[in-house]
Amino acid sequence: MQEKDMLGDLIQESKEHLQEIEPVLLELERQGDALPTEMINQIFRAIHSIKGGFGFFGYKGVTTLSHSMEHLLSLIRDRKLSITNELIDALFRGIDKLKVLFDDFENSDSIPIDNEIKALDPFMGESSTEPQDTSTVRIDTLAEIEKFHTTIPEEQINDALKNGKTIYRILLSSKNDLDYKNITISAIFEIWERLGKILDFAMDLDCIKGLQGSSDTDMRYSVIYATVLEPDLLLMGLNVTPSQVRIIDMDQLNEAAARALSQSPASPAAAVSPADAALSAAAGASSQPVEESLRVKVSVLNNLMNLAGELVLSRNQLIQQYNRKLTNAIDVNRLFGEFSRTIETSLKNIKDNIHRDPSILDHIITTEVDNLKNGYIKSLTFQLKELQGVNTTLQSIDSVTSQLQENIMQTRLQPVSVVFNKFPRVIRDLSRKLEKSIELHIIGQDVELDKSIVEMLSDPLTHLVRNCADHGIELPEIRENTGKNPVGSIYLSAIQEGGKVIVIIEDDGKGLDFEKIKNIALEKRLITEQAALTMSVKEVQQLIMLPGFSTAESVSDVSGRGVGMDVVKSNVERLGGTIEIESEKGNGTKISLTLPLTLAIIPSLIIQSEKRTFAIPQVGVEELVRIRAFEVTKRIEQIQGAEVMRLRGKLLPLVRLSSLLNLVPTFVHPETNEAKPDKRTRLSDRRGTPENEDAQSNVPDRRNSNGDRRANVANAVKIVVVKTGLNHFGLIVDSVFDNEEIVVKPLPEYFKATQVYAGATILGDGKVAMILDPGGIAQRANLRFSDIDKEQIREQDIQARKTSEQTSEILLFDNGSTERFGMELNSVARIEKADTSEVEIIGSKEFLKRDGKSLPIVRIQDYLPVSSPQQSSKEFYIILPKNTEQKFGIVAQTVFDVVNTELALDTSNIKGIGVMGSTIINNRLTILLDLNSLLSAVEQRMGD
Amino acid sequence: MKPETNAVNKENGVDDSHICKLETNGDLSGHRVRRLEEEFAEAITAMTFKKVQLDISSAHNIDSPGIALCVGLYKECKIKKMEFEIIVNDELRRIFTLVNLDKILPIKES
């Protein structure tokens, strides 16, 4: 377990080292040889620490790869290599691989690293043999150890490892290391034992064949040495060269031990194959993942300690005050006793003197009342004083608690630079791949966010930045042609605003082409044509976040598969954030993510359903709708068995929380105030069940006496409109309370399957409230948003048809003069030809004979203020209006046409009896006749 | 030249079972070792002994050529199928133990 902890620390530390390396490499690429040696040294040390650390734990993959990288860096440091993009590429590949190895360090040795090593190889140059660096230490193999050491002191080795020591095997040559330096073997022992422990000392006896020349033999010694020293220090301390030192690979030793055991017949039971051992080790490891750790500023911890101290102080004060209360309660009791005695004596006094002289009585009463008043004030002020004491303590507890909460939150905060810092590298790689020149500007990297948010922000941000580089920034030539700086810019900034952090990704590229987006959306049938026409710019921007949307014509390996913006959006929303797009064609795109500082405390709307309290995260709440009881049946309808509501012309599916959660529905009886089971199955039902309907129709009085309970104010329907992704739905609840900042408590595993809950919280009154998850509710309720959309479209069609019906067919005619008249065709019964010879004149009135009856005819100029015809021709037309029982016919000289037109009636310019108004038809001003008023005018005249 | 080997006793010059006792004088270190090697060679190449006994108990120190010499002599005896025995004092024994020679060379305490 101890080793597990150390490994966790090591991985954390190594990841930090890698983070250190990346920016320096980028800088190295930019500055080339001009980069100060100190900076190269810095990353050299970082990679060296990684190698040392993982070497210590025997992870060969990491050690080998980091060794190669370290060697390359040493060449760079010594200016033996010229900096090329390819060289930096190779190093970056190595770093990427190291990240992979860290993430799966348990299996890191089985992850192939040859490609990365191969990429590094060409730069190694001639010196790619054993580098003469102070820190290159090889790992030993068992075969080599066994060549010298007949017995391996395993127990001692394991003991030493447990104590955190490294086991080295050091090779010595008797001539080079001892004779020439005039050191004896005992001196070696003396020095070495000071820095560590010699576990085994062996010599190569094979090199001595016989007496002849034995004293002149260069003896080879091999020492197994345990020490806490790092390889580089070891080399210094023992005055040996790296080529002499090996780190002993414990895995191989263990294997050897296992082999020895399995070979020994005495203990066959103990035979464990190394594979099994490795398996069980791996299984044990994977069941206990390395716990995440977090670096916290000491100042924050100090603050926390201070606050905790203050909290303890306040608690002590409270206890003290409570104790004092107890003793004071006796005082209070005494005071009240006195007070009641005062009342008693006062009353007695008054009673005794009740028959006395009024002036004396008056005096007595006044004094007694004063007495009472004083006694009352005395006991009351005493109480108040006590309460005031408690109040200040409570205030201090209150403020300390909020500060504590804030501070604890701070311990989880991490600067966004943790995420931002990886983008210079991303941009570098992308600009090379896409052959664009892009400059990245990072602003506000010190802004802090909750660790979990910072971590979850990484993927969406990467996607957005990639989008900017791939789709946003144009190729340098195109940029130059459009008068832009050939070098594109991407701005990545973070701003803290109140309890929120806004992360902005902005580019100065080509921007979003709204028409193109619309067309693609139409092509992919993501929207209807009808919708495309009426869409606002904001709505079009939303389109790019629909699943399956991509404007890129070709799929590149950078982006363009059309999975992306929807994932970004859902990721950001999962974090409780919102996403906003601003773009201008040709002038770049700006995407703003608004994120909460923390996920642990969220503002929520508290609601109640069937007496149970729930919280809905405020980010998901769009609006609250209250439908008055008597409007329920009108505003809530059913579509395919599901309840929907019409909200500003749009259909909103409804979910009744109580039935979703299978809570027993109740209603509060308006008179008795008691809760009774509600038998209605749907809000839109007029009555619960047919039986009920019958029962009620049998007793019609009941309705009158009790009133429709749905008309009761308390029975208004409250709907919380929540959004999930692009969809909205209404949640029917019983009551809506306040907004509250709630602390989210995660739910245990077995609650996960319920979908509808995002967590739980404890409210101010100590009760537990579940936090609702809008997305889960929509899923659980089986909301089919597409059905709703279809219905919406169908209705729009009907609406469209209706408006087309609003256009009228107008009969156009004139009276032989310049004016043009019109009347609605459907108010015309028929048109007949007539001849002036048929007209009979009686007085000032003219008649035509039709069907054996006389028909008065009307000349428009007689009624309306219009000009008269210059000359009347022999033939003319009679227009017989409908519904006038053929009381008159209108004289028309020419009947032009019947046009279908939308009536844009102007009633202000031309007014008068029989005139409905004027409109422009076929570019001519046309006077529309009002048959009703014309008729009454005609009748009046006829009556004259 | 005073021989480094104090006494080379040929107790019985003809008998195969005779023991060759080689006793060194002083430390087995530095340039003396080379000379000792020559003397040892002289002593044991002339004839075959049943046993060679090397007494280095008068030495306080031994360096690596010294150790190599002891090993060389031991190997020589092995080749010639002669028994070998080495007599050491406490100090030398400690060094021999450290370098694990005690497990290889048959050591006889003085």
Residue B101 lies in a domain: yes
Residue B68 lies in a domain: yes
Average pLDDT over residues A118-139: 57
Q: Which residues of A are less than 8 Å from B89 in CB distance? A: none
CATH code for position B82: 3.30.750.24
Under an 8 A CB cutoff, do A185 and B63 touch? yes
**Residue A593 and residue A466: Cα distance in Å, rounded?**
16
Of A568, A415, A469, A289, which is closest to residue A19 (Cα–Cα)?
A: A415
More confident residue, A589 or A543: A589
Average pLDDT over residues A284-307: 70
Question: Which two tokens mark A470?
Answer: 């791939």
- DSSP H helical segments within A412-495, as ranges? 417-420, 423-434, 451-467, 476-481
Question: Which two tokens mark A817?
Answer: 């003069």
The pLDDT assigned to A289 comes to: 52
Under an 8 A CB cutoff, do B63 and A201 touch? no
Identify the three-state secondary structure at position A348. helix
Which contacts qualify for A158-165: CB closer than 8 Å, 24 or more apart?
A: A160/A197, A160/A199, A160/A226, A161/A250, A163/A228, A164/A228, A165/A196, A165/A197, A165/A226, A165/A227, A165/A228
**Residue A799 and residue A650: Cα distance in Å, rounded?**
13
Residue B76 lies in a domain: yes
The pLDDT assigned to A533 comes to: 74
Under an 8 A CB cutoff, do B71 and A210 touch? no
Q: Mean pLDDT check: name the lowest of A569-578, A666-675, A894-903, B49-58.
A: A666-675
The nearest CA of chain B is from the CA of A271 a distance in Å of: 29
State CA A239 to chain mean position distance.
59
Best A211, A218, A224, A225 member to test B by mutation, with max B CBs in 10 Å, is A211
Identify the three-state secondary structure at position A652. strand
β-sheet with A196-203: strand ranges across: A138-140, A245-248, A166-173, A220-227, A196-203
Identify the three-state secondary structure at position A815. coil
Residue B2 lies in a domain: no
Q: Which domain holds residue B64?
A: 19-109
Of A301, A348, A255, A319, which is closest to residue A58 (Cα–Cα)?
A: A255
The pLDDT assigned to A141 comes to: 63
Smallest Cβ distance to B69: which of A179, A198, A215?
Answer: A215
Of A842, A813, A802, which is closest to residue A922 (Cα–Cα)?
A: A813
Length of chain B: 110
* Residue where the block lists tokens 């040294």: A41
Whether the pLDDT of residue A723 is over 70: the answer is: yes
B64 touches chain A (CB under 8 A): yes
The DSSP bridge partners found for residue A485 are none
The pLDDT assigned to A720 comes to: 92
Q: Mean pLDDT check: name the lowest of A94-98, A330-334, A403-407.
A: A330-334
More confident residue, A905 or A668: A905
**Residue B67 and residue B101: Cα distance in Å, rounded?**
9
B95 touches chain A (CB under 8 A): yes
Residue B12 lies in a domain: no
Residue B102 lies in a domain: yes
More confident residue, B55 or A140: B55
Average pLDDT over residues A887-892: 83
* Amino acid, single-letter form, for residue A403: Q
The pLDDT assigned to A135 comes to: 43
Identify the three-state secondary structure at position A537. helix
**Residue A468 and residue A472: Cα distance in Å, rounded?**
4
The DSSP bridge partners found for residue A144 are none
In chain A, the residue whose alpha carbon lies closest to the alpha carbon of B76 is A210
Distant-in-sequence, close-in-space partners of A116: CB < 8 Å, separation ≥ 6: A65, A90, A93, A94, A97
In chain A, the residue whose alpha carbon lies closest to the alpha carbon of B65 is A215
In chain B, the residue whose alpha carbon lies closest to the alpha carbon of A184 is B63
How many inter-chain contacts (A to B, CB under 8 Å) are there?
88
pTM over the 0.90 mark: no
Overall domain count for chain B: 1
**Residue A918 and residue A925: Cα distance in Å, rounded?**
7
Q: Which residues of B are less than 8 Å from A185 in CB distance? A: 62-64, 67, 95, 98-99
Under an 8 A CB cutoff, do B68 and A202 touch? no
Q: Which residues of A are less than 8 Å from B32 in CB distance? A: none
The pLDDT assigned to A607 comes to: 92
Under an 8 A CB cutoff, do B76 and A211 touch? yes
Best B67, B92, B94, B102 member to test A by mutation, with max A CBs in 10 Å, is B67
Under an 8 A CB cutoff, do B65 and A179 touch? yes
Q: Which bin fits B109, alpha (ψ -120 to 50), beta or left (φ > 0)?
A: beta
Smallest Cβ distance to A185: which of B34, B37, B99?
Answer: B99
Write out pLDDT tens, residues A415-425: 888 888 888 88
Smallest Cβ distance to B41: which of A186, A208, A211?
Answer: A211
* Amino acid, single-letter form, for residue A944: D
Q: Which residues of B are less than 8 Å from A179 in CB distance? A: 63-65
Average pLDDT over residues A487-504: 87
Average pLDDT over residues A832-841: 83
Give the whole-number percent of chain A exceeding pLDDT 90.
Answer: 3
pLDDT confidence bin for A704, thresholds 50/70/90: very low
Of A740, A739, A870, A769, which is closest to residue A814 (Cα–Cα)?
A: A870
* Residue where the block lists tokens 């040859």: A114
- DSSP H helical segments within A353-416, as ranges? 358-411
Under an 8 A CB cutoff, do B100 and A214 touch? no
**Residue A415 and residue B81: Cα distance in Å, rounded?**
79
The pLDDT assigned to A804 comes to: 60
Of A458, A771, A460, which is closest to residue A620 (Cα–Cα)?
A: A771
More confident residue, A944 or A692: A944
Query: What number of other Cβ atoms are within 10 A of residue A344's Cβ?
Result: 10
Query: What number of other Cβ atoms are within 10 A of residue A888's Cβ?
Result: 24
Rounded to two decimals, the ipTM of the complex is 0.83
- DSSP codes, A215-280: GG---EEEEEEEES--HHHHHHHHT--GGGEEEE-HHHHHHHHHHHHHH-TT-GGG---HHHHHHH
- DSSP H helical segments within A699-773, as ranges? 700-706
Question: Which two tokens mark A157?
Answer: 């080795």
**Residue B61 and residue B70: Cα distance in Å, rounded?**
13
State CA A786 to chain mean position distance.
24
Residue B3 lies in a domain: no
Smallest Cβ distance to B75: which of A184, A201, A210?
Answer: A210
Average pLDDT of chain A, as a whole number: 77
Whether the pLDDT of residue A70 is over 70: the answer is: yes
Residue B58 lies in a domain: yes
* Residue where the block lists tokens 């002149």: A216
Identify the three-state secondary structure at position A171. strand
Under an 8 A CB cutoff, do A221 and B99 touch? yes
